[in-house]
A and B are shown apart, each in its own frame.
Chain A
């Protein structure tokens, strides 16, 4: 193990966690010992892990606060649905269709990332945050009015209503405005979700420890010094932002193709915030933290189901308390000393 650097080791631990996660839950669900509600959460967990990882690329590694990440997820989701739906005749293999949907979903989200990133990345700090929020809302709003239909002539688009699609007889509506996508064929599988996570992890981890990744970290730490070192700041900021958007797009497609219906409202400001919460609670810039936080916090509301009405209240309180405790020097010193003690105790017993 000595010949591996610390980063490489950490990267392999991350892959290991994901693979173990897959094996454990795959066995559990195969043996039928997994509750149906948790089983239904597996693919959303994968999608949220990808979302958290991709947002961490922007917030943690590039250091820009984005409050509209769900917008890219939604672009990917609806693109994915349209692709999967329109290819249902030509590509009969479900997995292949899913992969195409994921790729095209990521691609279209990346384009949205470029369109948004070019103006937005000129702004800084809180202004950048508010503009990403605004873009997230615009995407939601536009998708809320978007009608897409398919007939023998190809795809039809409208921002008004269903009849103005002017579909030929035999055509079908894929997206119908605020109703979203109806009658989606469920294509997403847990396995593909895991593969996608591994790909995203592979990408980010290798990216960070390469020339462009260093440049992005440099811009985060000190923009002026980075410029003085001759690093094209806008190019690299955009690179991180667009990559992140593409990943979010694929996560969206994965997510949407897991349900029979998806509405645009699903990907609103609250979803963007939810993902940001994963990133912050997992530790900014910490990929493993993002994975664990995303998985736990997606399951947590399910686990709190017995509290019914109180569960979101509990969630809110937990959130506030965690922020207060992790940002309190004294509390953290206390917790660390306890953990050390516990560790020592277990070591002693082990000996």
Chain B
């Protein structure tokens, strides 16, 4: 029971980190960035290459993965999304899907579809409390998630850039009039989101050590669900949504049905949205008449 809970929180922490990327980008650019899941996959491959092929130690390879993903995030935003800033949201959505296909197929060409065995990035002994064993990966994941949460909260509330980000997400036009560089702020958000995706990629692949070009797709969708679950656009919401989703998934697998666990996760999401249409921590937006 307790070990399920910890596994759930650990999986949920990964979802939460991915969901943060979704939620920040949604909050600021009002777009569903479906390519986010594939940035995770790229992050995973980067870390895999640097450790397995180049023999780098853990910390530098994680940093390497983060750097590549951050740059990738900025690049995607500049090339694909920025020209569509004033286009319909559906056009942006389709473009994001195009980017997602592009990344998946690039990965397919470079690394082929054969699954790669991801090296264990956390070489720490498992923790034993009483008769239950907690994997060190789970603990590291949870700690990473907490640290990221704290840093992000401080960043958005205390720093000038963070405040600019919140201002842009409230009202792009007004922020621009106040002298905020909107384009730079949006790029920054993509950079942060993608950097987080790299961390999520490493953690995800450490917990489930098979790496394929489609690795990011399903966690991406689920993390997106988590972001909506918590109230899209809200950072604490993404955190809460991610962790709850992880717990529901693990408990669903354990007590109801392994095969139907995804269905259970999505069913809970639907119920939450029907009861509270803007997610757990989402703000209600009343339409002016």
Contact = CB atoms under 8 A, between A and B. Distances in A.
A–B direct touch in complex (beta carbons closer than 8 A): yes
B270 A135 contact: yes
B99 A320 contact: yes
Contacts of A224: 287, 289
B228 A141 contact: no
Contacts of A37: none
Contacts of B289: 224
Given A135-B266, A137-B221, A315-B101, A320 B95 contact: yes
B108 A65 contact: no
Interface string B88-120: 111101110111011011101100000000000
A300 interface: no
A221 interface: no
A328 interface: yes
A123 B273 contact: yes
Contact of B101 (A119, A131, A316): A316
A316 B270 contact: no
Interface in B228-285: 228, 232, 257, 259-260, 262-263, 266-267, 269-270, 273-274, 277-279
A323 B91 contact: yes
A111 interface: no
A327 interface: yes
Interface stretch (A76-84, A196-204, A276-284): A276-284
Contact of B269 (A131, A144, A277): A131
Contacts of A122: 274, 277
Contact of A142 (B89, B232, B260, B273): B260
Nearest to B282: A127
Interface string A311-326: 0110111011001101
Interface in B200-227: 217, 221, 224-225
A133 to B, nearest CB: 7
Interface stretch (B58-66, B79-87, B168-176, B178-186): B79-87
B287 A319 contact: no
Given A119-B274, A324-B95, A127 B228 contact: yes
Nearest to A143: B263
How many of chain B's residues touch chain A, expressed as a range? 35 or more
B278 A127 contact: yes
B138 interface: no
Nearest to A277: B94
Given A269-B221, A316-B102, A280 B263 contact: no
A137 B32 CA distance: 18
B266 A138 contact: yes
A103 B48 CA distance: 51
A130 B228 contact: yes
Contacts of B273: 123, 127, 130-131
Contact of A319 (B98, B260, B262, B267): B98
Interface string A58-83: 01000001000000000000000000
B266 A134 contact: yes
A119 B260 contact: no
A283 B99 CA distance: 20
A319 B94 contact: yes
B263 to A, nearest CB: 4
A144 B259 CA distance: 8
Contacts of B260: 141-142, 145, 159
A132 to B, nearest CB: 10
Contacts of B257: 145, 159
A258 B224 CA distance: 35
Contacts of A141: 259-260, 262-263, 266
Contact of A324 (B83, B88, B277): B83
Contacts of A281: 94
Nearest to A281: B94
Interface in A102-154: 119-120, 122-124, 126-127, 129-131, 133-135, 137-138, 141-142, 144-145
Interface string A29-71: 0000000000000000000000000000001000001000000
Given A65-B90, A127-B277, A319 B101 contact: yes
A295 B101 CA distance: 20
A273 B91 CA distance: 13
Contacts of B228: 126-127, 130
B234 to A, nearest CB: 14
Given A141-B263, A324-B95, 14 more contacts: A65-B90, A119-B270, A122-B274, A124-B277, A126-B26, A127-B273, A130-B225, A134-B270, A141-B262, A141-B266, A280-B91, A284-B90, A312-B101, A324-B83
29 contacts: A123-B274, A126-B89, A127-B273, A130-B269, A131-B269, A131-B270, A134-B269, A135-B266, A137-B221, A137-B262, A137-B263, A138-B262, A138-B270, A141-B263, A142-B260, A145-B259, A145-B260, A177-B259, A269-B217, A273-B97, A276-B94, A280-B91, A280-B94, A309-B108, A312-B104, A320-B102, A323-B94, A324-B83, A327-B91
Interface of A: 59, 65, 119-120, 122-124, 126-127, 129-131, 133-135, 137-138, 141-142, 144-145, 159, 177, 224, 269, 273, 276-277, 280-281, 284, 309-310, 312-313, 315-317, 319-320, 323-324, 326-328
Interface of B: 26, 32, 80, 83-84, 87-91, 93-95, 97-99, 101-102, 104-106, 108-109, 217, 221, 224-225, 228, 232, 257, 259-260, 262-263, 266-267, 269-270, 273-274, 277-279, 287, 289
The 8 closest A-B pairs by CB, nearest first: A316-B101, A319-B98, A134-B266, A316-B102, A327-B87, A141-B263, A320-B98, A313-B105
